[in-house]
Amino acid sequence: MTKVPVQFVLNGEEKAEFVESGATLLRALREKIGDTSVKAGCQQGTCGSCAVVVDGELRLSCLTLAERCGGCSIETTGGLAHGEVLHPLQRAFNEGFATQCGFCTPGMIMAAKALLDRNPQPSREDVVEAISGNICRCTGYEPIIQAILAAARANSLSAA
Amino acid sequence: MELRKTYFADERKDDLKEIGQPRLRSDALGHVTGTTTFFADRNLPGLLHLKMVRSPHHHARIRSIDLSEAEKHPGVVRILTAADVPHNVYTILILIQVGPEDETVLATDKVRWKGEAVVAILADSERAAQEAAAKVKVDYEVLPAVLSIEEALAPGAPIVNEYHGQNYYRYDSGECRKVRYGDVEAGFAGADHILEQTYGSGPIEHAPTETTGCIVVPEGSGRFTCYTNTQAMFFTLDNASIILQMDGAKLHMVGGTVGGGFGGKVDVTVEPIAILGAKLTGRPVSFIYSREEEMQISSPRAAEKLVIKDGVMKDGRIVARYVKAYIDAGAYSRHSPYGAQKSAAHFPGPYTVPNVWVDSYCVYTNRTPSSAMRGFGVTIGDFALEVQMDKLARLVGMDPLEFRFVNAYRDGDMKAHRQPTEGAALIECMQEASRAARWPVAEKYLAMSSARREG
């Protein structure tokens, strides 16, 4: 199988790997780099568990070829916290009971982060729209929506 | 959240410290940082990938299996067939003496549902396993299939599962689970109205975001470590032990972290064959359902057909209830004989009815085996019963909530399956619901109590 070199920045760190040509970013992150915060739920672009942020845009890593990410900056939930200091979204999900089984959580948080990065004060409708590609089978979504809104409020307080 | 302490105040000390207080989940920090370790979150050198060759037919005889092309496929390490499985015919609930063993780990002479496992491919990569699976040639003689409860129970229907001999589970009580209480015919004879309705439901898939799977590592000690997302660790351990004819002490099951289960991960479908693969190759083996397999292959909630006939008086009292319940197990038992049994006991619902007759059948069809899902055997019955309650209320011209107060069970009432009611709280729940939903009921219902009967 032909291997191709790929180099990108993951959560601020330079990464260089050889991946099989045609390998998804999901596989490269999980199996080559060992970032298992990215989850494989459907591998067909329907569940959002594998969502990551690539150059500021929310992307499904199961539908993104690793070799097309050369030179990109990639963010995953695994890189959000600074040591023990959680990102406001992580704090809000933790405190707001917005996780149950936890499998959708990393993708959900990345979808929320992509939203807050471009729209720090979203409406409820904005939040619902932003996570519309992410499936959660446990929570019924409401605690997730509330957590994202709470994180946005916390951000605005710390910015003030 | 408001905690209302007036109900049953004399039954407990008023020292609840946790209820009504926010508490952090102990596992949430791992979830939000992406550090919770799910079974698949491990990379192992030399990992083999298992892919299953599955039946494309609902019901067929296997004439022959040709592995010659698949064996030659680059990356293929081993191919498993029924002959490799030490105890190939099993049933999960044999652990509690609910037999007969009726399901093959890998098919031998027949397949009984579309998607049934026939041959397992072990290869160096998932892609190689997938490609080799496509090269396995199975010669099938397609047989007539039974795809509904009605077809299964029709005279002369093809037999779905020869281990049972007929298309329903035979209980020690006969062809169905039975509840007999009072005199249901006399109840109907004295009733002011009789209402008979039929309710039906289709199979429901749990669709967890994490698909079913496991990774098995052969250890130097001769043991096998099985990282799994099963919801039923000991069912899995004990059934794997039976299927593999291996001392349970050799099996080290590691799990408890499940990316959504809802009952869908209590069957034992991936671990035994993956452990066998690890044993025969000496390499770690990963067997993870694709999303397509999760949706098509993993067992759903059973389809049900429920016939409910009630006799009711003008004042709203239900005096007779007759139920015929049919639970579609699919091709194999799994947990369905238990589900059908549970439904029989449940059927009067949370109501006191003096005359009850229930027949609950566990039926075999050539459909995906059904199994556990959140209150299986009960949930669909509750849907049907509560729709029936609304219809009965309309029939006698009563408010549907008041109608339920009239029939609600209370402490000391005998249930149809001969368990006296204890700790009932239906009346208090309905009183609270009446207030919360602003659905007023007459004062006499607000004065009722589950703990005593008035007058």
Dihedral angle at the C-alpha atoms of B35, B40, B45, B47, nearest 10 degrees? 180
Tens digits of residue pLDDT in B133-164: 999 999 999 999 999 999 999 999 999 999 99
- Least Cα distance to A40 among B57, B129, B286 occurs for B286
Whole-complex ipTM: 0.97
Portion 68-127 of A in contact with B at CB < 8 A: 76-78, 80-81, 86, 89-91, 93-95, 97, 99, 101-106, 109
The domain segmentation of chain B, as residue ranges, is 48-143+207-296
What one-character DSSP code corresponds to residue B158?
A: P
Q: Does A63 reach chain B within 8 Å, measured CB to CB? A: no
Q: pTM to 2 decimals?
A: 0.95
Res B392: pLDDT: 98
List the one residue out of B365, B322, B328, B363 whose CA is nearest residue B344. Answer: B322
Q: How high is the pLDDT of residue A156? A: 82
| DSSP-assigned letter for residue A79 | G
Q: When comparing pLDDT for B433 and B13, which is higher?
A: B433
Successive 10-residue mean pLDDT values, chain A, 160 residues:
92 96 96 97 97 98 97 98 96 96 98 97 98 96 98 83
Measured CA to CA, the distance from residue B242 to residue B328 in angstroms comes to 26
Contacts of B296 in chain A (CB under 8 A): none
What CATH number has the domain spanning B48-143+207-296? 3.90.1170.50
- Give the closest residue to B168 by CA, choosing from B5, B396, B376, B325: B325
- Mutation pick from B24, B25, B31 vs chain A, by most beta carbons of A within 10 Å, is B31
**Helix and strand numbers, DSSP H then E, in chain B:** 13, 17
Give the percent of chain B with pLDDT over 70.
99
CATH 1.10.10.10 fits A3-79, yes or no: no
Segment B168-180 shows an average pLDDT of 97
pLDDT in tens, B421-444: 999 999 999 999 999 999 999 999
Q: Give residue A159's pLDDT.
A: 67
Report pLDDT for B227: 98
Residue-wise pLDDT for B92-115, tens only, equals 999 999 999 999 999 999 999 999
Q: Domain-by-domain residue ranges, chain A?
A: 3-79, 88-159
What CATH class has A88-159? mainly alpha
User: Dmax of chain A from CA atoms?
Assistant: 54
